[in-house]
Structure 1
Amino acid sequence: MGKVVYSMNVSADGYIEDPDGTIGFTAPDDEIHQMWNEQTRQTSAFLFGRRLYEMMEEPWRTVASRDDASEVEKEFARIYLDTPRIVFSDTIEAVPDGVRLVRSGDAVAEAARLKEQVDGELDLGGPGLAASLIDLIDEFRLCVVPITVGGGKPFFPVGKKLNLRLAEQRVFASGAVYLCYEHLGRG
C-alpha cells in the first residue's frame, strides 16, 4: 500500500504563496534542495494540482541541460523527470510524455486507487488538491523558511482541524526547519 505525502516549502507564517501568488521566497538553498532530492528518490509518483504542475513542469524539463544550473538542481531535474507525474485538472487539454492527466472530479477515487495499488510514496503537491484529498494524506512534510509573507495561499486547508504527530524534524544552516507530521485524522 502506498503512502500519500503532502510536501512543500512554506513561509514561517504558513503560506506556500505570497499575496501576489509568487513562490520565490520558498526557493531552496543547496542543503534544502539536497534533502528534497533524497525524498524525491523515494517517490513512486507525483500528484499535482494544475497550478503547481505548471510551475514545476516547464522549468524542470530544461534544467538538466542549462549551464547555469547547479549540480543539485540538475540532479533533481533528472529524478523528477524519471518519476511518473499525474496532474489533476479540468482545464488542461494535453500533457507531455511521462505525465498523466486526470480530471479533478476523479481526484479522490484516483488517489485512493493509487494508494491501494502503488508501493512507495505518492508525493502530493498543491494546496487545493491537498484540501480535496485531506482524508487520504498520511504525512505532511513542510520545510519552513525563515520569512513571513503576511498572507497568500496557506499550506493547510483553512477551517480544517487535523490531529498530527511530529515524526521528524531537522534544522538547516539557513534557519529553515523541516517538519514531518503523521496524520492521525480529523479532530
Structure 2
Amino acid sequence: MRDVVYSLSVSLDGFMRSVDGDISWSEPDAELLEFHNELARAVGTSLYGRRLYEDMAAYWPSVADDPAANPQEADFARIWLDMPKVVFSRTLARVEHNSRLVADDLAGEVARLKALPGGDLELGGAGIAASFLREGLIDEFRLFVHPVVLGGGTPYFPASSAPVPLRLAGTRVFDSSGVVFLRYRRAGRE
C-alpha cells in the first residue's frame, strides 16, 4: 500500500510562507534541487490543494523548455509535468498538466489512491495538509528546514487538538545551503 507523504520547505521557526506569502527564502540551490528531483522521481502521484496547485501550474510548465533554466530546474519541470496529480478543490472548475480534480470525499479518494500500485502519494500545501492531518491520512512528514527565522506566516503544521506521535526515519544535512532534511514516520506506520 502506498503512503501519503507531506513534504515542504519550512523555516527554522516552523513556517512555510512568510506573513506576506513570500517563499523566496526557500529557493533551493543545485544540490538541494537535485535531491528534490530524486525524491520526485519516486513519487507515484502528487496531491495538491488549490493554492499550491495554482502556484505550481503557473510556474513549472514554462520552465521545461526554457533555455535559460538551469538543468536541475528544467529536469524538475519535466518530472512535474509527467507526474499524475490530484487536486482537491471545491472552487476550481478545471485543472491541467496531467491533473485530475476531486471536489469531495477526501478520505475515500485517498483510500482508493493508496490501494493502487506505484510510488507514494506526495502531499503539498498547508491547507490541504490540515484536512489530511485531521483525518489521520498522513503517513510520513518530510521537512526541509531552512536556516531562516520568519517570525510568522503560514505554519507547516496546522493547529491540532491531539498530539501526533512520530518516529525519526532519516536525516540529511546539505552543506552548501545549511538546509536540514528531516523525515518522520507516523508512529505505528513504520
Corresponding residue to 1:180 among 174, 180, 183: 183
Rounded Cα–Cα distance in structure 1 between residues aligned with 2:117 and 2:159: 29
Could you state the TM-score of these two structures normalised by the residue count of structure 2?
0.93
The structural deviation recorded for 1:154 is: 0.7
Aligned identity (percent) is 48
Match of 2:171 in 1: 169
RMSD, aligned α-carbons:
1.2
Rounded Cα–Cα distance in structure 2 between residues aligned with 1:5 and 1:80: 16
Tell me the SS of whatever aligns to 2:94.
coil
Rounded Cα–Cα distance in structure 1 between residues aligned with 2:41 and 2:97: 20
Tell me the SS of whatever aligns to 2:72.
helix
Count of residue correspondences: 184
Deviations for 1:80-131, whole angstroms, at most 9, x for unmatched residues? 111101111111111125110001x322221121112243210000111111
**In the alignment, structure 1 residue 152 sits paired with structure 2 residue 153:** yes
Mapping of residues 1-150 of structure 1, within 5 Å? 1-103=1-103, 105-134=104-133, 135-150=136-151
Could you state the TM-score of these two structures normalised by the residue count of structure 1?
0.94
Tell me the SS of whatever aligns to 1:67.
coil
Deviations for 1:154-174, whole angstroms, at most 9, x for unmatched residues? 111213421111111000121
CA contact (8 A) 1:108 1:132 kept: no
Unaligned 5+ runs, structure 2: none
Rounded Cα–Cα distance in structure 1 between residues aligned with 2:97 and 2:143: 29
Runs of 4+ aligned structure 1 residues displaced above 6 Å come to none
Unaligned 5+ runs, structure 1: none
